[in-house]
Amino acid sequence: MTFRQARWDEPLLWELAPPATAGPPPPPITGIPERLRRRRPLDWPELSEPEVVRHYTRLSQMNFGIDTSAYPLGSCTMKYNPKLSEMLARRAGVAELHPYQPASTVQGALEILWRLERALAKVTGMAEASVQPAAGAHGEYAALLMVRAYLRDHGESERRREVLLPDTAHGTNPASAAMAGFETREIRSRDGCVDVEALRAAVSDRTACFMLTNPNTTGLFETEILEIAQIVHEAGALLYYDGANLNAILGITNPGRMGFDVAHLNLHKTFATPHGGGGPGAGVLAASERLAPYLPIPRVRKVGRRFVLDYDRPKSIGKIKTAYGNFGLDLRAYAFLRYHGEDGLRAVARRAVLNANYLGHRLGSILPRPFRPLVKHEFLLSGAPLKARGVRTADLAKRLLDEGVHAPTVYFPTLVDEALMIEFPETESRRELDQFVEAFRRAATDSSERLKAAPTALAVGRVDEVRAARELRLSRKDLVAAPAEPSPPTGGPPRSAGIGPEPKS
């Protein structure tokens, strides 16, 4: 028998040690009243504490995490989560709060939410903010419901059914628009930014709103933003701000100044709170004066010296989440805002922009960079030149995993051939950036078989992604029992397995 290493087929605790069914019964425990005694023995494996700890540690080693290496996913903005915020969120007074406690017993928490919402309204240059949504995409959907409610109030919801989006838009934008009942129409870009003439030609009395990220997902700031706002508003439509890239402009400019009417923010991308990944995300809605009445209920209000949850907002789109916000994350973001202060937030944005331009400049000597070279917080490379020697961006991304770093976002935005989108937020040091350059150079110039087989050094080998998507197997039982086909070099999962590191936004 050999010692276990972190591998994709780590046994369940029950497989490591089946529950003891034979043997002498445990000694009777005295002092437990008869009615409280267990009727049947527990069906639990018998393992020592170190065995259990090592099992979970091996599981944790199967994943990339921001605490083990940088996570340069462009657009997703994976920031290091400062431990100070973590410590605050773990205090019993915070961690043990129940979302349905009466307001009178959670005055401190409500005050934090109230202060956070006011701070976020200021950061975005908007009239009001609400921390209710559970993620960026949830905020998008809620904001589009607000747009719809606003149009209905103005007798225009029947006519204005179209949402315009640039071809650089994140996939959640058209998805949210469709879910909110709108039709979508794409506006082409020119040199990575909105083609203003194409926008001018597309707006009409059917336009409900234009959804835009600024800086956009090519890392470029839309310098024509004031003209864009004017075109949209003159057509009687609204301007929506996707705040996923707000970290690039914190404290320097804001969507309110640019003329946006409503915005969503991703607390996890801007204020260094843990990323969602289907888990504890937190979105925020911010609205200008004319859209603020439509924000979801309840709203946190201060009445005298007390904080209350106000449901009396007749124009509101209603409730969009059972509990109000995601308090643990909201608190972390509030702490981030407080310990940085206004100057610190500006420094965050400047550092993010400096990191992107430094790294973009260095990596630009390895692969070409589309569009203008001066970017905000993220930049694009094109892996197209590698195609000549049969290497795809996906190969490069997987080879980077073997270097011990997470892959960048790949194949997005789609307007760049073999795109790699890279973002090293302000939390990463120059040392980390330089280390990434060397890792990237090794990966991009690798001509060995390792490139096509990568990742070879991880618990999970390369999976056949197409087959995994078509023959999805989510049950571990099916996966482990799957007929053995030729395995990747590390003895990773069978090629049909639907698991594996997936480098994407």
Ligand X SMILES: Cc1ncc(COP(=O)(O)O)c(C=O)c1O
What is the binding site for ligand X (CB under 6 A)?
A: 75-76, 135-137, 170, 172, 213, 217, 242, 244, 266, 276, 281, 283, 505
CA distance 382 to 245: 21
- Shorter beta-carbon distance to ligand X: residue 270 or 496: 270
CA distance 345 to 354: 14
Please give the residue whose beta carbon sits closest to ligand X in the complex. Answer: 136
Residue 299: phi, psi to the nearest 5? -110, 145
- The distance of closest approach from Cβ of residue 283 to ligand X in the complex, given in angstroms and rounded to an integer, is 6
- The distance of closest approach from Cβ of residue 218 to ligand X in the complex, given in angstroms and rounded to an integer, is 11
Residue pair 242/212 in contact by the 8 Å Cβ criterion = yes
- The distance of closest approach from Cβ of residue 409 to ligand X in the complex, given in angstroms and rounded to an integer, is 8
- The distance of closest approach from Cβ of residue 124 to ligand X in the complex, given in angstroms and rounded to an integer, is 15
- The distance of closest approach from Cβ of residue 186 to ligand X in the complex, given in angstroms and rounded to an integer, is 15
Residue 266: phi, psi to the nearest 5? -110, 105
Q: Any idea which residue has 């340069």 for tokens?
A: 72
Residue pair 42/379 in contact by the 8 Å Cβ criterion = no
- The distance of closest approach from Cβ of residue 381 to ligand X in the complex, given in angstroms and rounded to an integer, is 18
Q: In terms of Cα–Cα distance, which of 326, 324, 295, 327 is closest to 312?
A: 295
Residue pair 367/444 in contact by the 8 Å Cβ criterion = yes
Q: Any idea which residue has 């482990």 for tokens?
A: 480
Residue 332 neighbours by CB under 8 Å, 6+ apart = 81, 85, 86, 88, 89, 267, 271, 272, 273, 274
73: which DSSP letter? Answer: B
- Shorter beta-carbon distance to ligand X: residue 136 or 488: 136
- Shorter beta-carbon distance to ligand X: residue 281 or 488: 281
Alpha helices per DSSP H over 186-240: 196-202, 225-234
Give how far Cα 111 sits from Cα of 96, 118, 250, 258, Å.
17, 11, 23, 30
Residue pair 283/135 in contact by the 8 Å Cβ criterion = yes
- Shorter beta-carbon distance to ligand X: residue 172 or 496: 172
- Shorter beta-carbon distance to ligand X: residue 283 or 494: 283
- The distance of closest approach from Cβ of residue 212 to ligand X in the complex, given in angstroms and rounded to an integer, is 10
- Shorter beta-carbon distance to ligand X: residue 180 or 497: 180
Residue 276 neighbours by CB under 8 Å, 6+ apart = 135, 268, 282
- Shorter beta-carbon distance to ligand X: residue 97 or 179: 179
- Shorter beta-carbon distance to ligand X: residue 137 or 459: 137
Residue 128: phi, psi to the nearest 5? -145, 160
- The distance of closest approach from Cβ of residue 173 to ligand X in the complex, given in angstroms and rounded to an integer, is 6
- Shorter beta-carbon distance to ligand X: residue 494 or 501: 501
Q: In terms of Cα–Cα distance, which of 265, 322, 320, 324 is closest to 294?
A: 320
- The distance of closest approach from Cβ of residue 278 to ligand X in the complex, given in angstroms and rounded to an integer, is 9
- Shorter beta-carbon distance to ligand X: residue 137 or 295: 137
- The distance of closest approach from Cβ of residue 447 to ligand X in the complex, given in angstroms and rounded to an integer, is 33
- The distance of closest approach from Cβ of residue 15 to ligand X in the complex, given in angstroms and rounded to an integer, is 35
CA distance 285 to 302: 19
- Shorter beta-carbon distance to ligand X: residue 170 or 462: 170
E-state strands within 267-329 = 283-287, 299-303, 306-310
